[in-house]
């Protein structure tokens, strides 16, 4: 009987830890994107190519990571807003300013969230 109790307690512990890990990961969202032309992310000009965009709900930080590596090419602050419906696919919104394509917002598939960049123009940093 004691052995059965120990197995049940262990199973409950593993289940609780798995649930906590799942909740923690829902705060960071990412998707792969292809920029067909150069895009300005905050103050950073990002060359056309394949990138992973990752945003953290808690810190309000978006990272642009070169695909195929861990090189963060731009970091920008913004805010995460709730969307009424779960996103069916990943997408991004752009605007044109002074002849440059500027990243405005990011939607991640499966999330009820949207990352909106601070459009003040002084919010990005280059990581080298």
Domain boundaries along the sequence of the chain? 28-125
Q: Is 77 exposed, middle or buried (0-12, 13-18, 19+ CB in 10 A)?
A: middle
CA-based nearest residue to 51, from 34, 28, 63, 71: 34
Q: 128 near 121, Cβ under 8 Å?
A: no
| pTM: predicted TM-score of the whole model, two decimal places | 0.69
For 49-65, what is each residue's pLDDT tens digit? 999 999 898 998 999 99
The larger pLDDT score, comparing residue 57 to residue 5, is at 57
């Amino acid at each position: 009987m004691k052995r059965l109790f120990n197995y049940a307690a262990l199973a409950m512990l593993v289940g609780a830890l798995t649930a906590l890990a799942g909740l923690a990961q829902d705060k960071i969202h990412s998707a792969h994107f292809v920029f067909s032309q150069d895009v300005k992310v905050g103050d950073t000009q990002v060359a056309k190519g394949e990138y992973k965009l990752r945003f953290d709900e808690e810190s309000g930080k978006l990272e642009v990571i070169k695909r195929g590596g861990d090189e963060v090419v731009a970091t920008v602050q913004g805010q995460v807003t709730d969307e009424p419906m779960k996103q069916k696919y990943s997408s991004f919104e752009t605007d044109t300013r002074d002849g440059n394509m500027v990243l405005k917002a990011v939607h991640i598939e499966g999330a009820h969230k949207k990352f909106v960049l601070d459009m003040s123009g002084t919010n990005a940093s280059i990581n080298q």
